[in-house]
Structure 1
Amino acid sequence: MLKISAIIMASGFSKRMGTNKLFLEYQGKTFLEHVLLLSKKLGFFEQILVISPENLAGISLPEGVKVVLNHDADQGQSTSVRLGTQFASGAGYLYLTVDQPLLDESLFAPLLAAYTTENIVFPVTLEGKPSSPIFFGKRFRTDLLQVSGSTGGREVRNKYPDAWHQVPVDEPYRLADIDTYSDYQKLIANKVEERTRS
């Protein structure tokens, strides 16, 4: 099996939420705990947590997580992508965000089956809309180390459409990003599925 580095990007500012998304709770776990436990269950080659110093304070992490401090998070998501990639030693890189608390192991089976060192794999909704998490094979390492601004890995993805492997997801609500407090209220009320279908 391909040695995949799971890169968890956890140094954003949650401006649209109004409170730190990392520590919001859903079904007894914080968003951060959820993505850390999920990536551990999936048995990736390594787990890399890119996090700001202030977010790291006071949290406990599962054994084996490699922590990379992001001191330049105000420069956009690209800083997390560059740092995570820099410290990754796998044959490919899976980028995970902390604001998808409905991701589960079953969603990753068709994604994992498609990973190679030469492609870009990501889930799409039934309408064909791309989503996170996104995987880049080692072929794209140089490009990922050079991203800038707030778009993160999207600029690399869009540069190489010939390398795309898109995986349709039967339950697109599992891909939902919880970006605002209204989104979070719907999550708690179990109305995220309803929102993604409307």
Structure 2
Amino acid sequence: MFAALGLLLLPDAVAQPASTHTGGVFPMHPMVEGVWVEKLVGDPEVPDAEFVIRIHHDPGYFVLPHTHPRTENITVLSGAWALGMGARLDRSKLVPMPQGALGVVAPKMAHFGYAKLETILQVHGIGPFLNLPVDPVFELSAHGILAKPSLLKPGVPTTAKPDCFKLRVGERIHGRMGAGTVAGALCSPSNLFTEYWITKVDGKRYWATLDELRPAS
């Protein structure tokens, strides 16, 4: 389900497993800076093979509506998550998932999510684990506007020119979680929804919508 990562993923933003899984304990630990998806067991892209991954979301992040070809099992390890079912982003349908809660999404079921706080999810299932947006999603990056055919992979060049990004990368703003600069953004024209990724002076990041932000004085 997980864009964050969305999340403006860089090619090195997925940690590679050290070796073939032979059993053992995988302790909780802080995610490495810049890594949003950590592979614990198997490879989520291998068909008909089990996998376990951990996904990090910065606070305020909405995962736009998407589907998976196989069942997705989501456990909240830390933070606060909410899961909603449907092809449209409807905040009233979000069901809170506190730490320890399990969410199960059936194959091809459209769903979306929200990380109220900085959150780490553990996802397990049978591959391939594909994150397919229900409607087109676009990413604002330092390289311009990109299309997101997968929410978990880097954006790709596009000729589309969606009119949904009102702020620019590098623009200074104030938000509910502090002052910072725009690091990127995601938008879904079909959902009339845009969210901005903000980097604060101390390096911490959060997501916010335009109505939650104002220009820096």
Please give the TM-score of this superposition, normalised by the length of structure 2.
0.25
The structure richer in strand per residue is 2
Greater relative contact order structure (CA < 8 Å, 6+ sep)? 1
The structure richer in helix per residue is 1
Please give the TM-score of this superposition, normalised by the length of structure 1.
0.26
